[in-house]
Amino acid sequence: MALADYFHRNAQAAAALVSGFDAEMLAKKLEKHVIGIVFDDSVRTSLEAQATIDLVLRLLARLYPTLTIVSLGDVKKKHVKPLHALVKAINPKIDIESDIRKATKLLVVGRTPVTVSGKLKRHTWYLGSDNWIAGVSRNAPVGSGSSSNPLAAGAAACIGAANVFRAVFAMEVGDEALDDELCVSLIDLLPATAKSPNPPLQEVELQDVHLAGAGAIGNGTLWALSRLSCRGKLHVIDPEKVTDSNLQRYVMLTDGDQESEKVGLAATWLKGNKQLEVVPHPGDWAEHIAAVQYKADTVLSAVDSAEARIQIQASLPRVIFNGWTQKGEAGVSRHTNFLGAMACLACLYIPTGKAENEDVLVARALKLPEDRPMIEQIRRRLQHNVPTDAAFLQQIATAANLPFEKLASFENLPLRDLYVGGVCGGQVMEFHKAAIQVRAEVPMGFQSAFSGLLLAAELARPSPVAETITQVNLMGTFPNRPSRLRTKASALPCLCADEDFRAVYMEKYGVTG
């Protein structure tokens, strides 16, 4: 069995979720487990079952070194072989067992009960869906519906993967954190009953939709859109190429996608839909919105910083749906009326308190002295992109008690490359604790994918959710009421209270405040 080459990124992600964490503990814990995925012959006919299996494998293969994939009933090899190929493409080092008895945690898709005993009985989850309704059970099969709706099917996969993670780390997070029985509607994110509305999925009309960010959350959205019946035009905006650290949680990526433009890949993933035009924009939001003359009707915000979100709101789209993750949580916020009483996107991200300068954070992360000469040197290197010479790398190596070879690949690169790649990106494992302190934690794949699914649901559901924010802690049992209202910021002035911004918005969309 072998951990993925991007294990350092998984180590960072787990650091914020598991108490008493260190990378060695995580590796040893994962290597003790074999995660089983079992499915029956419903995979032949149910698009929902196929979607659940696909996404759950895309999530598990990025973290666990050994999986067992077992089919029940009359399942032909042609249905199983692509699943083996998928997990191998995600982690070429992964081991695939064929014996279900070796599994320590089990996820089951279909209507067939599986006979297990001992500890595995407590750590078996049946996953399924019925159109808009996702189901998870530790007691009996859930089954998968006959619709083409991937949203609840994908949600079940994310919740199942989250339960497996919590079960693996039960000593650290507590057994009570596991879901026992869950039935939730993606129509309103409320517990589902036999009387819950479950209308047929309609074709999704994308009229001037802009996906800002093709990263982890954006990948979750693109996974859903690739399986939805869509027509229209989708702009995908992201300036970056894929690196190995992205593979940990970008559910659409495989190992061979490194160094590819993220937006180019997005267009490739959706090219099978001839009714959907995907327009890739390999630049940042400021470049894109200027190029389209500040005209963007609907924006799916899948960016990773408060600054980027405020920038999106400041460009005044008519509607914004914002996906986000934070310490175990995944969520979405809705901003459909800039002039109304509900919070705009900027309201949620107005900075409060004092933030330390980047030069201080870089010094601290690299374990360098925080005296004035060092801070000034770091500031100069950051501002002017000064190539990092061997002497300065040696100074960092000495301060951090590292062999120089650990840093040698960053010679002649800007210092920010070392900070972003070596520290925040986790390429130098000795800096991963500093990364947790100086930057928002890296989410687990099931968090990002779930947030991305929620974004896609905003486009697909027949009527909007009234609440501003939906917030789900995937490190605990699924909440009964995950959504709430949020009014405009009052403690600090926001741009949505600025008369100039309001006037521009009214003129753009022909509305009154």
- pLDDT per residue as tens digits for the range 331-340: 999 999 999 9
Which of 438, 460, 484 is a domain's end point?
438
Would residue 91 count as lying in a domain?
A: yes
Lowest mean pLDDT among 13-22, 188-197, 302-311: 13-22
pLDDT single digits (tens) 447-505: 999 999 999 999 999 999 999 999 999 999 999 999 999 999 877 789 999 999 999 99
Q: ∠ CA(162), CA(167), CA(169), 5° rounding?
A: 100
Which pLDDT does position 428 carry in this prediction? 66
Res 430: pLDDT: 61
Q: For position 354, what pLDDT does the model report?
A: 66
Half-sphere exposure of 191 (CA within 13 A, CB side): 8
Percent above pLDDT 70 for the chain: 92
Same domain, 56 and 172: yes
Helix, strand, coil percent content, the chain, rounded in steps of 5? 40, 20, 40
Q: Does a structural domain hold residue 199? A: no
**DSSP one-letter string for 126-141:** EEEEETTEEEEESSS-
Tens digit of pLDDT for each residue in 197-209? 999 999 999 999 9
In a domain, 192, yes or no: no
Sign of the torsion formed by the C-alpha atoms of 147, 329, 296 and 273: negative
Query: Tokens standing for 304?
Result: 């990773």
> Beta strand pairing status for 230-237 and 204-212?
parallel
2 in a structural domain: no
Q: Is residue 280 part of a domain?
A: yes
Q: Same domain for 432 and 475?
A: no
d(CA 361, CA 365): 6
Residues 373 and 255 in one domain: no
Percent of the chain with pLDDT over 90: 68
The answer to whether residue 189 scores a pLDDT higher than 70 is: yes
pLDDT surpasses 50 at 255:
yes
pLDDT of residue 107: 98
Same domain? For 318 and 463 the reply is: yes
Per DSSP, the three-state class of 436 is helix
CB-CB contact of 255 with 91 (8 Å)? yes
Does residue 167 belong to any structural domain of this protein?
Answer: yes
What is the pLDDT, as a whole number, of residue 426?
A: 59
Looking at the structure, tell me whether residues 270 and 179 fall in a common domain: no
- Would 190 be classed as within a structural domain? no
Judgement on whether residues 285 and 315 belong to the same structural domain of the protein? yes
Is 401 or 353 the better-scoring residue by pLDDT? 401
Strand 469-473 and strand 329-335: pairing?
antiparallel
Question: Average pLDDT in the 219-236 region?
Answer: 97
Tokens 């160094």 identify what position?
Answer: 259
Q: Please tell me the predicted confidence (pLDDT) of residue 424.
A: 66
> Is it the case that residue 170 has pLDDT exceeding 90?
no
Q: 295 Cβ partners below 8 Å, 6+ apart? A: 208
**Residue 147 lies in domain:** 7-185
Number of domains in the chain: 3
Does the structure show a pLDDT above 70 at 67?
Answer: yes
Place of tokens 């300036």: 239
Which stretch of 281-290, 432-441, 472-481, 484-493 has the lowest confidence by average pLDDT?
432-441
Q: Which residue has the higher pLDDT, 29 or 90?
A: 90
**Where residue 439 falls among pLDDT bands split at 50, 70, 90?**
very low
Indicate the average pLDDT of the chain: 90
Burial 143-174 (b: 16+ CB within 10 A, else e): bbbebebbbbbbbbbbbbbbbbbbbbbeebbe
And the tokens for 434? 């500093």
As a whole number of angstroms, the longest Cα–Cα distance in the chain is 71
| pLDDT-derived band at 374, boundaries 50, 70, 90 | very high
Tell me, yes or no, whether 149 and 39 share the same domain. yes
Per the structure block, which two tokens stand in for 26?
A: 């995580």
**End residue of a domain, out of 386, 408, 438:** 438
CATH of the domain at 318: 3.40.50.720
Do 230 and 157 sit in the same domain of this protein?
A: no
| Judgement on whether residues 59 and 121 belong to the same structural domain of the protein | yes
Q: For residue 445, which of 251, 160, 157 has the smallest C-alpha distance?
A: 251
pLDDT higher than 90, residue 268: yes
User: The CATH number of the domain where 101 resides is what?
Assistant: 3.40.50
pLDDT band at 24 (very low <50, low <70, confident <90, very high): confident
In this prediction, residue 441 has a pLDDT band, given cuts at 50, 70 and 90, of low
Same domain, 434 and 311: no
Asked if residue 211 and residue 173 are part of one domain, the reply reads no
Per-residue pLDDT at 341 exceeds 60 = yes
Residues 226, 157, single domain; the answer is no
Domain's final residue, options 438, 461, 479 = 438
Assess if residue 191 is contained within a domain.
no
